Structure 1
Amino acid sequence: MDLFTRKDGTSIHYSTLGEGYPIVLVHTVFDNYTVFNNLAKQLAKSFQVVLVDLRGHGYSDKPRYIDIHDFADDLVKLLDYLYIEEAAF
């Protein structure tokens, strides 16, 4: 399990598979990244796949208050942390 910790102390659970152009798979609300396990395995044959549990979901921390902007900012900061400058979503 890979964790990325934000400056506010929130830990974001993520995983990467494969090599190549990055594709970020983002689950819907009330879900987690395991919904993409089969798809990720197939995509990882040709791409670098980034799976992420949004804050409040899966193995990521569950802060009391979550704003939609937090989701977007978490993704931007995670990609910066992984040195990914460009990706498909």
Structure 2
Amino acid sequence: MSKENNVNGVLLGMAVGGAIGFISALLLAPKSGTQLREDLSTKFQSITGKTKDVAATVGKNLKELAGTLKEEATDVVDQAKRPN
């Protein structure tokens, strides 16, 4: 569970860091306003898609984790109900 959280955190950090770096490079590069807006729009769409993918993966992992926790909780309750 901890490794999944770390991996998701690293991926999110990489995405955010990459986006910040890319936007900084675009803003500091000598381009016309039209070219800059097109580049920003394209990158924003790319980041949006990647963010949706990460969110879907995190959601899937959370559903699996919830299912596993439910099964384990059910097992613990069943064991507690058994007479010694």
Higher helix share: 2
For this structure pair, what is the TM-score category when the shorter chain's length is used for normalisation? under 0.3
Higher strand share: 1
What TM-score do you get using the length of structure 2 for normalisation?
0.28
Which of the two has higher C-alpha Rg? 2
